[in-house]
Amino acid sequence: MDGTILIYIPPAVSSAWTTLQGVYDLEVVLQDGTVVRLLQGSVAISAEVTTGE
């Protein structure tokens, strides 16, 4: 594991989104049950943006 977090959202899923702004957080649960928030923030999604990947 190299410390990279990859989130893949297939086009069939993201094309159905009707809300293009929101908030997010990324949490991990430790072995003892402790929840640790790694990231949080707001997001704005632009429709029909293609990166060529």
4 burial level (CB within 10 Å; 0-12, 13-18, 19+): exposed
Side-chain half-sphere of 9: how many Cα atoms within 13 Å? 7
pLDDT of 51 reads 66
Q: Evaluate if pTM is beyond 0.85.
A: no
Share the mean pLDDT of the chain. Answer: 85
Q: What is the mean pLDDT of residues 3-30?
A: 87
